[in-house]
Chain A
Amino acid sequence: AQSVTQPDIHITVSEGASLELRCNYSYGATPYLFWYVQSPGQGLQLLLKYFSGDTLVQGIKGFEAEFKRSQSSFNLRKPSVHWSDAAEYFCAVGAGSTLGRLYFGRGTQLTVWP
């Protein structure tokens, strides 16, 4: 069965500092992987996705993520965090051919100190 683990429930960083949010997945085949961001009371905004090809993917708002098959990981990174990045971040794995059928991690709440 597919599952996603985000080991960090809450991360606090200073504005301008670098950021890495961890994500590990369990899936029997080649996964489709996603990172979403959610502001309070809002829907989900797609930051980036990995389907195949280059394992380092670039997303919006300066985010990037690297797919590491050997570690079953898809960590999200940003070199310099802005106060507006404070939000909830979700990693998700897509099941097989049904790209929209997603299984989400528990989320990581990011707090940014000025």
Chain B
Amino acid sequence: GAVVSQHPSWVICKSGTSVKIECRSLDFQATTMFWYRQFPKQSLMLMATSNEGSKATYEQGVEKDKFLINHASLTLSTLTVTSAHPEDSSFYICSARQVNTEAFFGQGTRLTVV
């Protein structure tokens, strides 16, 4: 149980375009989902916290208009990188949790902007 799936696993997009990453909880209802960003050979940085049906809460320094997060249902959250640029290239990982449990991580999405 407690499986979190991300799609796609990797994506290449052209500079200036937008790309959407999906995070799904497959066998539980995720009241809260989290989005992290990981630069090569570095740690994971929390970007935002999203609760189903509410606006996401962004960490300091994360551009809300650049990284749009939607958590429209209890099993799906999406991260849209708008007007992507090469500096947005990174590994993005989501996690999801139910009430009173720890979070479970997806397998990550490698984004390359060319």
Give me the interface of A with B, judged by CB distance under 8 Å.
32, 34, 36, 41-46, 49, 90, 94, 98-107, 109
Q: Does B75 contact A (CB under 8 A)?
A: no
Chain B min CB distance to A70 (Å) = 25
Within 8 A of A (CB), among B18-68: 32-34, 41-46, 49
In the complex formed, the residue of A with least CB distance to B30 is: A100
Interface of A is mostly: strand
In the complex formed, the residue of B with least CB distance to A45 is: B105
Is there an interface contact between A100 and B107, defined as CB atoms closer than 8 Å? Answer: no
Between A and B, 18 residue pairs with Cβ closer than 8 Å are A32-B102, A36-B105, A41-B108, A41-B110, A43-B93, A43-B107, A49-B102, A98-B32, A98-B49, A100-B49, A100-B102, A100-B103, A101-B46, A102-B46, A102-B103, A103-B46, A104-B45, A107-B42
Q: Count CB-based A-B contacts (< 8 Å).
A: 59
CB-CB under 8 A from B44, the residues of chain A are 44, 90, 102, 104
Chain B min CB distance to A41 (Å) = 7
> 9 closest pairs, A vs B, by CB?
A100-B103, A43-B107, A100-B97, A44-B105, A104-B43, A104-B44, A43-B105, A43-B108, A106-B43
Instruction: Determine the distance from Cα of A79 to Cα of B59 in the docked complex, in whole angstroms.
Output: 38
In the complex formed, the residue of B with least CB distance to A106 is: B43
Out of B91, B93, B101, B108, name the residue touching A99 (CB < 8 Å): B101
CB-CB under 8 A from B97, the residues of chain A are 99-100
Chain B min CB distance to A23 (Å) = 12
